[in-house]
A and B are shown apart, each in its own frame.
Chain A
Amino acid sequence: MSEVLLNVRNLRVTYPGDDGDFRAVRNVSFSLGRERLGIVGESGSGKSTTGRAIMGLVQRPGRIEADELTLFDKQGGKTDLRAMSERGFRALRGQRLAMVLQDPKYSLDPVMRVGDQIAETHRAHLRSSKAEAYKASLDMLNAVHIRDPERVYGMYPHQVSGGMGQRIMIAMMLIAGPDILIADEPTSALDVTVQTQVLAIMDDLVQRRGMGLILISHNLHLVSSFCDRVLVMYAGQVVETCEAGKLHEATHPYTRGLLAALPQLGNRRHELPQLQRDPAWAADL
């Protein structure tokens, strides 16, 4: 992790509620280099909200605050995301930051050919001609290992399988060459064997293009085997950061509890240890 692409310091996301503010994300600090960073946690732990906050996708009345939220470009220029307007974010999304969501069924436009959706990103960000965008889209479909890209270009989302839809999403997100890809449960809707293929494609692209990848997932096995570094989130905070390969040596009782609660092949236990939650884990760090 030589070069820093993104610096997050003391990120807070709050939603006002009837009985006081709900702090969905608090005290989150990390920096992302050209690496694969995993964020794990259970539903409601704030992992997706963290990703959305970086993309500027937290809807009102939700508020994003941070001591620092800076995006660095290749020339060393800095962009402060805190001061960014919606218009500014639109220019960044796709070109500098991109996000792959969980289910391609819901994140692709159902009445637009998938190829046109990919080309649209290219045209908007690179101000290219139709022919250039078409060619770039085919190349991109090729890069995500789709056979016969011309035919797939003309298909509608309902005609493609889940694994293909997710690869189309990845193609769309990567066509403008972003520096950072945020993948929010990119493979949870996919079958295990297809899941491996989609991850391998993302892995290739990260290595080849030198992108920074944030992989958000609830799957501990997957994150520990795929990523370089892992943040464990609980109740809106990062409770532990560790090297992905050493996740099984994690020390926080929450991480340990989660690992213990996973059924394991070859280690059959009469009863799975259930996670005993300690209110102290949710206290401000």
Chain B
Amino acid sequence: MIQALAKKATVRDDVATESQERPAIRIKGLSKRFGSFTAVDNVTIDIARGEFFMIVGPSGCGKTTLLRILAGLEAPTDGSIDVSVEAGSQRPVNSMVFQGDSIFPWMTVWDNAAYGLKMRRAPQAQIKEVVGHYLDRTGLLKFADAYPHQLSGGMKQRVSIARAFANDPEILLMDEPFSALDAQNKLLLQEELLRIWEENKKTVLFITHDVDEAVKLGDRIMVMTAQPGRVKTVVPVSLARPRDVLELQQNPEFGKLVHQIWSSLREEVQRARELDEAKGVRK
């Protein structure tokens, strides 16, 4: 039974002919069940090309599962994902910036950032140029030969971002990339991320539990419900770009949006807590 459902589920990344009109990502009726536990339930959403799309939700709402399905690390139980790729494109479909320490401790900063390109056997000249560019943009060029243990947490996460950007994917997936950082580093990295993103406006899917971050970075914010994870509401963010993450905090529109998202999220966080307490699980 489960297998039959799994077969129905598809992740397609085939070439689209009319790519300009089609959304970059079309998620239709996507569900993921682990045994009797439903992590993601019937999520349907279109994400436009070049959109910075934010997902917020209480912990355990299946947002990471959703991203892992998009990254090809989990198979959906039901539903489909369509990623439209420009005709003739050689670029990889997606690259992920993982939550926590994910850069290889046994590689130098340079080799880490070059990983995706090396894996797809890109020509040396291209690797040199692209990796050099993104290490420069992330301020890591002078640490190119350093090993991760010599870097701070913020620098490691910058390597992870450089690695994903250097791979030049159709879409970037970011799973709470700044959650382990202190407030000051977080602010700097948000600024840096926006600056790099402005260069080529890739489609980004970004998970966070930080509402401020969601409003600062996103074009739209999807709020997910507590278990099972469904789409509760999608809020457009009309703040002008390019944005200054510091200036934004004084913007009344910013405050209104943060308040709006928080009110929507609070019910779900409350409900997630009740669910946890009912199960006797301490988070």
Asked if A and B are interacting partners, one says: no
Point out residues on A near B: beta carbons under 8 Å.
none
